[in-house]
Amino acid sequence: MTDPGDTPPTVFVLFGASGDLAARLVLPAFYRLAQEGLLPPAWQLIGSGRRELSDDDFRAHVHDKLTEFGPKPEEGPWEEFAARLRFASNGFSVDDPGQLVDTVAAAEQELGDGDPSSVQRVHYLGVPPTAFEPTTNALGAHGLAERSRVVYEKPFGTSLESFHSLDQAVHRVFDESAIYRIDHFLGKEATQQLRAVRFANGLFGSSWDRHHVESVQIDVPETLDVADRAEFYDETGAVLDMLVTHLFQVAAEVAMEPPRSLASDDVAQARADAVKAFVPLRAEDVVRGQFDGYRDIDDVADDSDTETFVAARMFVDTERWRDVPFLMRTGKKMAESHQKVTLVMRDPDDGPYHPTGTSGAGAEIPSRGNVLCFDLSGDGRLALSMNIEVPGSQSALETAWTEINLHEVDGGDPLPPYVRLIHDILIGDRSLFTRPDGLEEVWHAAGAALNGSTSIESYAPGSWGPDAALRLAEPRGWALGDR
Ligand SMILES: NC(=O)C1=CN([C@@H]2O[C@H](COP(=O)(O)OP(=O)(O)OC[C@H]3O[C@@H](n4cnc5c(N)ncnc54)[C@H](OP(=O)(O)O)[C@@H]3O)[C@@H](O)[C@H]2O)C=CC1
Ligand SMILES: O=C1O[C@H](COP(=O)(O)O)[C@@H](O)[C@H](O)[C@H]1O
């Protein structure tokens, strides 16, 4: 990681500081950066919110959340960290800046060593998407946009129209170079490996196309409930929360043509070009589901039509990927939790063995026996399965696996995605952030997943979702859950 020693004094404003994202991901990431010595030499973090909290209340809240989600306060420099936390109460809007403007001014006075204008600002909008535009307008109206980087959580817009409106509003206040649109799946260690495995290994690079890959599966089932963030979730749903955001961006990482270099603009361009080639989803390529009991959750409408599950079969209109299905699936309260990207390789079309379900001389090739799998969860893991001859059997084939755990790689120190991404924001590296050109195309590609042309099917909690999702993966099925 780049030494932050050269980073100017920084005021980090966290909007939505009392929320779920801040508690589970952003504040722990900040603390981990402090543990690793990766924060700028001079910094303060100001939590912003509509409620009334003193600095000490906020410190106690952060202490509680670190105790719950880690790293635990006692595992790092808690006293020094806590001394740099402030809270600005009473919200922040164009009409009323609450305490924020004064709190930022005081922090800059302390950090600027006589020159408050030397202090860099980072505004992190960890608030629901409906609050992005009003908060941005307020930053402009109250003079807080200068010397700033601004970070937007996903989803950046909820439709093509709202994307355009938000994009224009944001560009009225900030230059594109100051904008960091987060999609934390791009910051996962195993997502980075998609590029490394493909472009640094002839075996995989030369097989990364429709001649060798039968399907690409991006499968993110979750056992997780949504009861603790039902208000947000019921307005959002699985299509916006996961499919057109995380899963599409990971699909673009798989589908991209080789970038000209690994420089941030070239990588972001390659990803944006890949999204442009996504073929808009048709109704027959989408299954939306809702788990039984969802409508009984507090803050969920009794007649809610929000999907808690979505599966999609997408095609990518490039010479490399034409006719290869990109199968994507995600949902809440499912049977298991995984975050897997699987390239299912084609069976050889000639030779002494014959594919599953066909007849011929020689042994049968096990179905989906040759796959390359990137496990995005946790520290990340790569796995490769191959069909090999069962030793001693003389001809029978069996599938065998080999694995690489990223935390075991020599010299490796995998970092959680928010740690990596917040570090990149502080040092100004935009390669793992999304761009408006790539995002605009997302709304076209979303097609039937968002246009209301698909109905919602129910599924039992603890299952793999509606049965209709199985037909999307025919004939060979999903690699996960063996269905
Ligand atoms: N939670 C997660 O796992 C992830 C969330 N995200 C994204 O992060 C963002 C926040 O999500 P999450 O933390 O779960 O949501 P929450 O519902 O927990 O909201 C976050 C905070 O935002 C403030 N807030 C709520 N509504 C408004 C509003 N209208 N105007 C200003 N502030 C408001 C509230 O703080 P207060 O009442 O103090 O003002 C609230 O605590 C979303 O865009 C989400 O998509 C992204 C990845 C993961
Ligand atoms: O952005 C989101 O991601 C999480 C899953 O990501 P992880 O980093 O926790 O593995 C998902 O549960 C949540 O609904 C969504 O908002």
Ligand 2: distance of its center to the CA of 347 in Å? 34
CA–CA gap between residue 360 and residue 208 (Å, rounded): 28
Q: Could you tell me if the CB of 183 is within 6 A of ligand 2?
A: no
What is the signed CA dihedral for 402, 406, 408, 412, rounded to 10 degrees?
150
The pair of structure tokens assigned to 103 is 């709190």
Output the pLDDT for position 394. 74
Output the pLDDT for position 228. 85
Average pLDDT across each block of 10 residues of the chain; the chain has 483 residues. List them in order.
Answer: 78 95 96 95 97 97 97 97 98 98 97 94 94 97 97 93 96 97 96 97 97 98 93 92 97 97 90 96 97 97 96 98 98 98 93 83 88 97 96 88 96 92 92 88 94 93 96 92 60
Q: Is 184 annotated for ligand binding?
A: yes
**SS3 of residue 133 by DSSP:** helix
Nearest to 433 by CA among 125, 178, 137: 178
- pTM (two decimals): 0.93
Asked whether the bond before 475 is cis by omega within 30 degrees of 0, the reply is: yes
- Which DSSP state fits 23? I
Q: Could you tell me if the CB of 222 is within 6 A of ligand 2?
A: yes
CA–CA gap between residue 404 and residue 381 (Å, rounded): 6
Does the annotation count 246 as an active-site position?
yes
Output the pLDDT for position 2. 67
Q: How wide is the angle at C-alpha 378 spanned by C-alphas 273 and 222, nearest 5°?
A: 80
Ligand 2: distance of its center to the CA of 289 in Å? 18
Q: Which residues make Cβ contacts (< 8 Å) with residue 162, sequence separation at least 6?
A: none
Output the pLDDT for position 482. 58
The atom of ligand 2 lying closest to the CA of 416 is 8
Choose one of 15, 127, 188, 232 to mutate for the ligand 1 pocket test, by most ligand atoms within 8 angstroms of C-beta.
127
ipTM of this complex prediction, to 2 decimal places: 0.97
Of all helices (H) and strands (E), which one includes residue 128? none
Q: Could you tell me if the CB of 127 is within 6 A of ligand 1?
A: yes
**SS3 of residue 88 by DSSP:** strand
Q: Is 222 annotated for ligand binding?
A: yes
Q: Is 292 annotated for ligand binding?
A: no
CA–CA gap between residue 291 and residue 334 (Å, rounded): 9
Choose one of 13, 18, 21 to mutate for the ligand 1 pocket test, by most ligand atoms within 8 angstroms of C-beta.
21
Q: Is 154 annotated for ligand binding?
A: yes
Task: Name the closest-CA residue to atom 4, ligand 2.
Answer: 242
Q: Which of 164, 171, 211, 246 is catalytic?
A: 246
Q: Could you tell me if the CB of 172 is within 6 A of ligand 1?
A: no
Q: Could you tell me if the CB of 241 is within 6 A of ligand 2?
A: yes
- Which DSSP state fits 268? H
Which-ligand-closest: CA of 89? 1
Q: Could you tell me if the CB of 428 is within 6 A of ligand 1?
A: no
The atom of ligand 1 lying closest to the CA of 51 is 38
Output the pLDDT for position 123. 98
Q: Could you tell me if the CB of 237 is within 6 A of ligand 1?
A: no
